[in-house]
Structure 1
Amino acid sequence: MPTIESLHALFAARVTGLDLRRGLSADEAAAVCEALDRHSVLVFPGQDIDDEAQLAFSRAIGPLEVTRAGASGAGGYLLVLTNIGPDGRIAPPTDRQVLNNLANRLWHADSSFKSVPARASLLSAREIPREGADTEFASMRAAWAEMPERLKARLRGQVAVHDFGWSRSLVAPELVTAAERADWPPVRQPVVLGGPLGEALYLGAHARTIEGMAEEEARALIEEAMEFATQPRFVHAHRWRRHDLVLWDNRAVLHRATPFRSTAERRHMVRTTIAGQGPLLATAAAAE
């Protein structure tokens, strides 16, 4: 059975004692899922796995989400996050994949722009730069618990509109195509999620506005909530080592990548995504 060691006073843990190349028993998978619910972010160091082993481990956690059209790995279950081009060289800053990587430097929850957002994500470090390119995680459960009541009162029960085309256009106007806008129209998500371990704020870079509010008022409220929720005391930064694998709960944390010398150093990461079980608004309504 795995050994689980806390990494932060509020969330995140290191998991050792498992060799993900050989797969998980039912009891080991249950222990990982329980730890994910409790700690929100799990770090598995020293897991030298290939794509097949990552897929097998991911499926032990839950059914997989298909990679969206327009991303590297579209139509399959593996999303490749890299600055390495097809020729094996570092891609130029204007490369579409490199620009997509810039979007990952904004606080976000994976797939919050989908009608059924992702449950969890797994990221495997295959090649990393010497400095930078860390991943920061912010606990939305801890942030909500400590949020001032006046701010909670304005957010509770609200519905946010998450818009993929809008968020990508913040990085570069040409980054999102007309086809992608058509594939991923704006969707409605609850601003606060319920759960057995406490409520969690659910916003991030894709959250454009809040229903029933003027855009300027909504943007100000979203930005105030995000500023509070991403304070250093709610954040755990993971400094990658090659062969680390990190699993996180998109319903409980936001995450972002930090900069690195992307024109001079290589970074190659592979992500799998655990699918959600249904629209979050329906889940939130059932919990009330």
Structure 2
Amino acid sequence: MVFAVSATSTEVETPKILTVREVYTPLKTTSSNGRIVPIQHPIGSKVDFGAEVYGIDLNNFTSADFELISDALHQHKLLVFKEQSEMLTPKQQYRLTACFDPDEKTGGFAHGADPVLLQENGVTIYGLPNRPAINAQPQVHILGRGEVPPNHFDFPPGFKVKGIDHVDFHIPPHIPQEERDQGASRFYQWHWDGSLYNIPPPRVGCLLAVRTPKGPDVTVHWGDGTGRTMKIAPGATAMVAGSRALELLDPELHQIVMHSRIEYAPHAFQWMSTARSAQLGHILETEDREMPLDKLSPWTKDKVCIYPMVWTNPMTGEKSLQVHGQGAFKLYLKDRPDGEEMVVSDLKEVRAFMHRIMSPVLSPENIYAHPHKEQDVILWYNRALWHSITEFPESYGPRIMHQCNIAASDHPSG
């Protein structure tokens, strides 16, 4: 059974969100047994990020373990934790994620407060149909599609997570159902995690694979007229590096993005909820379907997010093109620090520019599609990578992931 969103009840108290200082102090140790092994990408791949981690039990990591993890994450941008003896607990997943931002005081979910999703037998579940929260640790949500395992925290028997469907979001033509049943797939939305309004985007993202789909590889179709396809594992999370995106720009565009900013729409996901995406999942089509600004939830200009196009890794100094094409509302373009700023507010022009700077990296040789294995955990540097969910046949079974996103203590400043 699939549950629909219900109205928030004034009689239901939101579960208390504990900050990392309230729930965790890592064990003090001087050394770690962890080993970092860079991922060996196939010949022809241009992907230069990712490493596997062995020898660290994330349910019992120490201060030395975390120091190793933090250094490795900023260097490799994606870490895959192997050989976990037990499923990572929601509380420990939150602790791991929160340690990357010791100045963050609220411990809040990166997309703000969750509404009530359902109330049954005295239990209240918060979140959305495609993103229910785990009461034991409200910053940890369930993503994917299909039925959660039996006795999964407070979820009632038969609870199903609503999955993505490009038919609901992408412009036609859509992939015919019979082809989807045979493994034809799409990239749903290229993005970095964040609300794009008021709340600073997370520094890191964390995913635990609880259940993964079982079946042959799927074939992702670009749907952009190029005929490009890519074979990937079912339910894989596709990723590209912002540093590679920056590297691929021609000199003129490179110079512009280095000194330019993007203004994101207020309540960007509500604003885009009535619009449709390009088939590649990187920008919206300009059809005048966005929700009018005066119909959005109340908003104020001072909470609108205006971010530089290029962000800097604080540990390595590496620069990454970090842009969210679908949420882009206005551009402030300059080709040098003291140059005249050109404001672009026409959405068709905004999206044409976003396509120019995003599409070069969205090619198979630059994409790493992570094949999730049950009980593995992935951790990625959200301020240096873009990612997208991918589709797979329903016959392959459920994809149940625990994701932790925590609002950062600071907005990106370049």
Return the TM-score normalized by structure 2: 0.59
The answer to whether the aligner puts 1:57 opposite 2:96 as a matched pair is yes
CA shift at 1:99, angstroms? 4.7
1:206 aligns with 2:327: yes
The answer for unaligned runs of 5 or more in structure 1 is none
1:125 corresponds to which of 209, 213, 217: 209
User: Mapping of 1:238-257 within 5 angstroms?
Assistant: 238-257=370-389
Tell me which amino acid in the other structure corresponds to 2:321: L
Distance 1:269 1:189, change over 3 A: same
1:179 and 1:88, CA in 2 relative to 1: closer, same or farther beyond 3 A? Answer: farther
In 1, are the aligned partners of 2:146 and 2:397 still within 8 Å (CA)?
no
Q: How many residues matched?
A: 275
Aligned residue in 1 for 2:140: 78
In structure 2, the partner of 1:226 is 358
Shift of 1:264: 6.2
Q: Residue 194 of structure 1 aligns to which amino acid in structure 2?
A: T
> Distance in 1 between the 2:164 and 2:250 partners?
36
**Alignment-mate amino acid for residue 124 of structure 1:** L
Q: CA deviation at 1:183?
A: 6.8
Deviations 1:49-89 (A, max 9, x none): 22223223323333544253354229921122142466544
Matches of 2:50 and 2:252, distance apart in 1:
28
Identity of aligned residues (%): 20
Match of 1:154 in 2: 256
For the Cα contact (< 8 Å) 1:112–1:206, is it kept in 2?
no
Deviations 1:20-46 (A, max 9, x none): 122x21111011011111111111123
Change (3 A) 1:169 1:265: farther
Q: Structure 2: how far apart are the matches of 1:181 and 1:79? A: 23
Higher RCO by CA contacts (8 Å cutoff, separation 6 or greater): 1
CA contact (8 A) 2:263 2:305 kept: yes
Spell out the pairing of 1:2-41 with structure 2 (5 A cutoff). 2-7=34-39, 8=41, 9-22=47-60, 24-41=61-78
RMSD: 3.2
Structure 2 equivalent of residue 267 of structure 1: 399
Contact 2:235 2:391 (8 Å CA) reproduced: yes
Show the counterpart of 2:311.
193
Deviations 1:114-136 (A, max 9, x none): 33111111011111111411001
User: Is contact 1:164–1:186 with CA below 8 Å preserved after alignment?
Assistant: no
Q: Distance in 2 between matches of 1:133 and 1:221?
A: 30
The 3-state SS of whatever aligns with 2:69 is helix
2:232 maps to 1:114: no
Distance 1:174 1:198 in 2: 35
Judging changes above 3 Å, is the alpha-carbon distance between structure 1 residues 89 and 224 closer, same or farther for their aligned structure 2 residues?
A: farther
| CA distance in structure 1 between the partners assigned to 2:330 and 2:165 by the alignment | 22
User: Which structure has greater helix proportion?
Assistant: 1
Conserved 8 A contact 2:271-2:296: no
Matched position secondary structure for 1:46: coil
